[in-house]
Structure 1
Amino acid sequence: MFQKFKRMCRKAKKTIMQVSTKVRMLIIALLGGIPAMAQSTAGDYSAGTKLCYAIAGVVAIIGAISVYIAMNNEEQDVKKKIMMVVGACLFLIAAAQALPLFFGINA
């Protein structure tokens, strides 16, 4: 089990290292601003919803780049990759809408 985890970590590191430095810096800049946005409105519960929307946007951008690279490399599972990105974005948007209602925050 531990060997499988090590292989997954190595594969993730290899994938990250294949992404260009400019894209990595953009991702770090975007993710670095998210905690600052979440802390700026300490008592406002809508900050969590905005945070989910921001994460969905980052996932959409990274997913679009990933799909573009897969299409240029003529990979086999492009449709699967597109479905996964769209599903992740829809889940984040639905969670941003449903979770506050579930916990009675916006009641």
Structure 2
Amino acid sequence: MVMMLLFVFTIGVFAQDAAGNFSAGTKALTTATEEIAKYVPIVVKLCYAIAGVVAVVGAITVYIAMNNEENDIKKKIMMTVGACIFLIAAAQALPLFFGVTNV
């Protein structure tokens, strides 16, 4: 019983000793945030490029489906448009997560 109490209080003392100085962790998080923010404009442009490729491939798929007189053309159109809208919305929302204003 005494050993268990001694173990618990020892862990508490270690936690109290290291809890006063957060400058290293704060500095590391700030550096990581700045480095990630540098990639945001590139990722936004990549999302737009992927949306363009999805639109072209979707248009070709819909064209082929219309020529073959398939029944699920509406579904293919809606899936293509939905994917493009999602990618564009994600590209617009991404800078807001990292506080980047000059994209």
> Could you tell me the TM-score, scaled by structure 1's length?
0.56
Superposition map of 1:67-86 within 5 A:
67-86=62-81
CA shift digits 1:21-79 (9 cap, x unpaired)? xxxxxxxxxxxxxxxxxxxxxx4531111100000000000000000000000000000
Aligned to 1:101: 96
Report the number of matched residues.
65
Residues 1:103 and 1:44: Cα distance change in structure 2 (over 3 Å): closer
Aligned partner letter, 1:101 = L
* SS state at 1:57 partner: helix
C-alpha contact 2:40 2:94 (8 A) present in aligned 1: no
Task: Measure the CA separation in 1 of the matches of 2:39 and 2:77.
Answer: 34
Extract unaligned runs of 5+ from structure 2: 1-37
C-alpha contact 2:65 2:73 (8 A) present in aligned 1: yes
- How large is the RMSD of aligned CA atoms in angstroms? 1.5
Higher relative contact order, chain-length normalized (CA < 8 Å, sep 6+): 2
Aligned partner letter, 1:83 = M
User: After TM superposition, where is structure 1 displaced by more than 6 Å over at least 4 residues in a row?
Assistant: none
> Could you tell me the TM-score, scaled by structure 2's length?
0.58
Q: Larger C-alpha radius of gyration, 1 or 2?
A: 2
Identity %: 74
